[in-house]
Amino acid sequence: MKQKLFFSISILISLTLLSCGQRNAKNEMDAEAYSRLLKIGNHISAQAQTSLLSHVSNAMKKGGSLYAVEFCNLQASSITDSLSNHFNCTISRVSDKNRNPENNLKTATDKQLWNWVTQQDAPKDTLVVVKSQAIYYKPIRTAMPACLQCHGPAEGIQPDTYEKLQALYPIDKATGYKLNELRGLWKIELAQEN
């Protein structure tokens, strides 16, 4: 219990120091480096979001939500992997209500940051440094009505789409959302520069 409390406090202190632009002695990141990495993370997450939304939108046009679910199951990971290679980083999405088990809150930092973000009225982009790794997190919202065709309340999802979701993701937790609700976080792992 004491260890969890200490970790929570140290994450919040790190977040506070970084967000204020002060120098973090342990990680030796100044305000300029923080700002630069924040911009890089924002650029990469925007590219990832645009790419995924474009592909999913095309899949919806081609075959509706049923086809889009199958497309995401087969292609979403390869799209983010390709962008990770392009930007020389690791791009993922994390959530406490994940659809794909690979997108769960894996690390203590993920869990602590998720708890912090979900308590904010208007969560914003955040950059934390863990060991030698700068990690950028950005909120993902169900920003368009089309999102709810696969992530909305079960009764609002077409029966064949809901059945396909259950078949492809038997432990799916990513339904029941309303428009503009926080659905997850982009997680961009960048190597910290010396």
Beta bridge partners of 129: 134
Which pLDDT score is estimated for 21? Answer: 36
**Residue 95: both structure tokens together:** 């959530």
Computed over every residue of the chain, the mean pLDDT equals 85
What's the whole-number mean pLDDT along residues 96-106?
93
Please check whether residue 44 is in contact with residue 89, taking contact to mean a CB–CB distance below 8 angstroms.
Answer: yes
- Which of the pair, 136 or 21, is modelled with greater confidence? 136
Closest C-alpha among 95, 98, 100, 135 to residue 118: 95
pLDDT of 20 strictly over 80: no
Percentage of residues in the chain with pLDDT exceeding 70?
Answer: 84
pTM of the model: 0.82
193 falls in which pLDDT band (50, 70, 90)? low
Residue 57 pLDDT exceeds 60: yes
Q: What is the pLDDT of residue 131?
A: 83
Output the pLDDT for position 130: 85
Sheet arrangement for strand 133-141: 90-94, 182-191, 133-141, 126-130
Q: pLDDT value at position 22?
A: 31
Contact 153, 184 (CB under 8 A): no
